[in-house]
Every structure is written in C-alpha cells, then in structure tokens.
Amino acid sequence: MSAKKSRPPGEKKALSYARDRRNAYGENDKSSRKAIPLRKAQESRQDRRKANQAMATLPRVDEPAADLIESSARRDVYRVGGWTKSPDAPLGKAVAAALEARTRRARRKGRGRVEREPG
C-alpha cells in the first residue's frame, strides 16, 4: 500500500478550485435531487412512447419499412439528443463570481466609494 502524497496547502487549494464543482444553474441546488431523475425518467418515457407508436404501425407497412422500424426501436435511435444535465461550474469560477457580486453590492450601497481629496 503506497502512502498518500503530501501536498502544501496552497497546492491543495489550487487543486480544489480546479477540480471541485458547484451548482450554478440558478435553481435551488437541493431540488436537483428530484429534478434530475425526473427529467431522465420523462426522457425514457418519451423514447418508449415513440418506439411503441412506431411498433404499432408494423402490421400496416411493407417488409423493408418494418425491418427499419424494428432495428430503430432496438437501437434506441430516439435517444439521440434529448435532455442532458448542464454541467456544474468549477469552484474557482463560482468563488470569483461570488466575490464579484459582493463587490458590486458593496459599491451599490456606497461602501466601496473612493473618496477624493479636495482640490
């Protein structure tokens, strides 16, 4: 068993800012626990519905078209595209955005004004 590589605190912080992610979508981050599985389930239901509708037309179409419909249903062609989760923002960008917002709020309240010397 190899020992874990010791790193200086500055390097750890830089790695954390690069690797860690934060939800930057704009919704409540706790709602993602329910929303992401719901969207995936809705996408699957939509795919199954399209496949079932295509399979229902099999008795009314000719042989080559029926083969195409069956192979498309088996290979899940409808899944191309569809809903995907937007990626979370890197922690470094999230922290920078929060600091920038804090600075803007402070300026708006008048705390960030630079006083001029009379003259």
Look-up of token digits 């920038």: 100
Nearest to 78 by CA among 38, 41, 48: 48
User: Alpha-carbon distance 57 to 53, whole Å?
Assistant: 7
Residues 27-70: pLDDT tens digits?
787 888 888 899 888 888 888 888 888 888 888 888 888 888 77
Does residue 114 carry a pLDDT above 60? no
Provide the pLDDT confidence category of residue 83 given band limits of 50, 70 and 90. confident
Average pLDDT of the residues in 82-107: 90
Nearest to 51 by CA among 84, 75, 81, 82: 75
**Cβ–Cβ under 8 Å, residues 46 and 54:** no
Query: What's the mean pLDDT when you consider all of the chain?
Result: 83
User: Alpha-carbon distance 41 to 84, whole Å?
Assistant: 12
